[in-house]
Amino acid sequence: MLRNPIDVIHSLHSMRLCNGAEHITRFELAVDSQEQRYWQLGPFRGEPVPSLSYREITRFSEQIQRYFDAFGRERVHVILFDDFAKAPGIAYEKVLSFLGLRSDGRRSFEIVNGNRRMRPKAVQRQLQRLKRSKALGRFERAFPTLWQEARAIAGRLNFVYERRPAIEAGFRQRLEMEYAPEVLNLKRLLGRTLDRQSPPA
């Protein structure tokens, strides 16, 4: 599944902030920064984050071409995220057809992994300390199902689900200029372009 690469890096920045892999809160600065990132939270706190840069991740045409070369174009099913978002039922039926599976009649498609923001880091650090406590370790071993439910509740309480702030217009325009060659390569490979991704005039 492919999505407009600018939207992908915008979403990825939010996700990395949320899981502690990014400390630069302003999207525009984070995308351009070359500095090494370090885990802000969790058991690897202070360790380097082994991840690709925002721009490396969105070299979609290179990645798609490798799949086509390895498996053959007819064996690779590409879904455009905007098509899926507009009509998930149609995209789902196409996947079933590609796999040679019968339709199961599914009509309900909930949003999964909506944009979320972590509550203050102090709250997260307290939760991490609790997870490492010996008393909770004993509780986890004695009541594993109850422990899983409690963790799920704590996780939900620790996040706020909200719309992602819009990208500053000038920066988005700059990114669109930068991604124009990638857009053309994708159009050549797929026979169409991703929504909101037409090359600048």
Domain count along the chain: 2
Residues 65 and 92 in one domain: yes
* Matching residue, tokens 């498609």: 109
**Is the distance from CB of 78 to CB of 65 less than 8 angstroms?**
no
Rounded to two decimals, what is the model's pTM? 0.71
Domain contains 196:
no
Q: What is the dihedral of CA 187, 78, 163, 129, to 10 degrees?
A: -130
Residues 62 and 107 in one domain: yes
Residues 164 and 153 in one domain: no
More confident of the two residues 63 and 155 = 63
Residues 72 and 124 in one domain: no
Least confident of 44-48, 102-106, 170-174, 197-201: 197-201
Domain contains 97:
yes
Domain contains 197:
no
Domain contains 198:
no
Q: Using 50, 70 and 90 to split pLDDT, how confident is the model at 106?
A: confident
Domain contains 184:
yes
Residues 129 and 40 in one domain: no
Distance in angstroms (rounded) separating the CA atoms of residues 6 and 182: 11
Domain contains 130:
yes
Distance in angstroms (rounded) separating the CA atoms of residues 118 and 168: 22
Residues 88 and 184 in one domain: yes
CA distances from 95 to 20, 26, 40, 47, 75 (A): 34, 37, 38, 39, 12
Q: What pLDDT digit, counting tens, does each position of 37-59 carry?
A: 999 877 888 999 998 899 999 99
Q: Using 50, 70 and 90 to split pLDDT, how confident is the model at 186?
A: very high
Residue range(s) defining the domain that contains residue 60: 5-116+160-190
Residues 47 and 134 in one domain: no
Residues 177 and 110 in one domain: yes
Residues 104 and 168 in one domain: yes
Q: Using 50, 70 and 90 to split pLDDT, how confident is the model at 115?
A: low
Residues 24 and 85 in one domain: yes
